[in-house]
Amino acid sequence: MKLKICGMNHNPEEVATLQPDYLGFIFWEPSSRYFSGEMPALPGSIKKVGVFVDAPLEEVLEKVGHYKLDAVQLHGKESVGFCQQLKDRFLSFPAQSRNPDIIKVFSIKDDFDFDVLKDYEEVCDYFLFDTKGKLPGGNGYTFDWSVLEKYSSDKPYFLSGGIGLDSKEKLQDFLNSPASKNCFAIDVNSKFETAPGLKNIDDLKVFIESLNSVRN
């Protein structure tokens, strides 16, 4: 089980010492966690994810090139065609570089029609399921994870949406259930902050310890 810590801004180097698998940087300007400026040097073991919301293709490609992103997370209404264009452009990257992964986000409230995923399976590497709310992400509350019992795809997915220290038992139960069969990673954000983009290291340490116990 992988861990992604999203909404990096004020203390990414400190968070990186915890060795998560992914760090997410938000490139959507209305977000209180919007990232700009220079990205600090990070260990090669940590994959950098750029989070976009209906951004133009060229903007995504510019950020991927500038920050050497390992993955892009599409948090808006990006079409299958857009994902295909992105995938095609990634294939034209220099042969010595690894093509970035494409993570397509879908928001869930009480129920979800998983049939909408079928056309995306060929153009995305992962799905991410988040809680439907007023904002594209970082709303701070969870959706009903039992909905994922209806997930029939083999595509690995990230589980996101309001996961915090108070989610430990619920998360353990979920990860021991059939619904988690294709759950590839846990994605945390706002529940581990003292301010938008400023992560609480002590709380993250406790959460990582509990996640490791489930992993093992």
Predicted pLDDT of residue 212: 85
- Cα-based distances in Å from 188 to 48, 165, 185: 15, 10, 10
Predicted pLDDT of residue 5: 98
Beta strands in 27-125 (DSSP E): 47-52, 71-74, 101-108
Predicted pLDDT of residue 92: 82
Domains of the chain, first to last:
2-215 (3.20.20.70)
**Measured in whole angstroms, how far is the alpha carbon of residue 110 from the centre of its chain?**
21
204 in Cβ contact with 11 (< 8 Å): no
Residue 56 has φ and ψ, to the nearest 5°, of: -60, 150
pLDDT band at 215 (very low <50, low <70, confident <90, very high): low
pLDDT band at 109 (very low <50, low <70, confident <90, very high): confident
User: 128 — alpha (psi -120 to 50), left (phi > 0) or beta?
Assistant: beta
Instruction: Tell me the C-alpha distance between 196 and 127, whole Å.
Output: 25
